[in-house]
Amino acid sequence: MKGKKLNLMGRVLMGVGAIVGSADAGEMEVYNYSDDLINASVVIKNIAEANEGFDESYDFHYNGGNPNKLHAYVLNNNSDPNTLSLDSRGFWSISGFDVALKANEFIASANNKLVIHMLDNSGYENRNIIAYNTKSPEIIYPVDKTNGAMTWIDLPDLVNQPAGVYDIWRVTPERKLAGDISGPSSSDGKVDICDLATLTEEWLCRSNPGENYFVSDTNLDRVTNLKDFVSIADTWLMDDSAPASASESTMDALTGSYKEALVNEHDKKPKKSK
């Protein structure tokens, strides 16, 4: 019962946070940049009310009139793909924006950079913004979250580049702590009973492609289950402002015993019934 009360309070706080924060959404502009050519860019935002997929209110399709040799847009898997020049997600969303870099026509020679301009970092307090080329996701580029900062990533020169998409970069506002799913707006930098309560409330909930993810779906597989519990367990009692290693011990015991219990469940010999 106590857990349920906490849970409801958490949801109310989240709702209030969403309303308060609706005018303060994070915003970045991502440039397909070259010193040698006119540049192209796309805007990506997190807005409290926005949907995971395309929504009329917050997303805009590319108008088709781009005269530039370079183009950048967000791939949209929900509607009219390849054309979003502004893509928005809910404040709480941790799903990545796939930015396509495209040559509109043959390019004989030009240098090339990906530039991420932080226009408004509000709402990203407990996030790390990262970027990577989907061809080499193991190489992570941290994005400078300072308001007005520009993160420059050198790309190979374009040489005899045919027209078409030549790279797809993913820009993701990931949580600093994987289990930090609840807080006043989307998260609060701590992993505690409130996060566990949200997980409990959404346990085994599923979402469909194009719909918003449940906030507790930490690995974006569209179901809240043991894998998401592990995200909370692995970051239990951690605090952004505290050294990461200082708070692991308490939950280690719980995680350990929980995992052990699961293993034992498999290995357990059936008890004899009288």
Residues that bind Ca ion (CB under 5 A): 180, 182-183, 188, 190, 195, 217, 219, 221, 228
The token pair that represents 171 in the structure block: 């820009």
* Smallest gap from residue 135 Cβ to Ca ion (A): 26
When the beta carbons of 26 and 183 are compared against Ca ion, the nearer one is: 183
| CB 6 to Ca ion: min, Å | 12
* Complex with Ca ion: residue 27 or 202, whichever CB lies closer: 202
> Least distance in Å: CB of 248 to Ca ion?
16
Q: Give residues with Cβ within 8 angstroms of 50, minimum separation 6.
A: 57, 58, 59, 88, 89, 90
Candidates 127, 254, 138; CA nearest to 188 is: 127
Q: Which helix (H) or strand (E) holds 258?
A: helix 248-267
Q: What is the spatial distance between Cα 143 and Cα 223, in angstroms, rounded to a whole number?
A: 29
Shorter beta-carbon distance to Ca ion: residue 34 or 182: 182
What is the nearest approach in angstroms of Ca ion to the Cβ of residue 269? Answer: 32
Nearer of residues 58 and 203 to Ca ion, judged by Cβ: 203
Distance in angstroms between the alpha carbons of the first and the last residue of the chain:
35
207 vs 185: CA distance, rounded Å? 21
Nearer to Ca ion (CB atom), residue 80 or residue 221:
221
Q: Which residue has the tokens 């906030």?
A: 215
Rounded to a whole number of angstroms, the minimum distance from the CB of residue 228 to Ca ion is 4
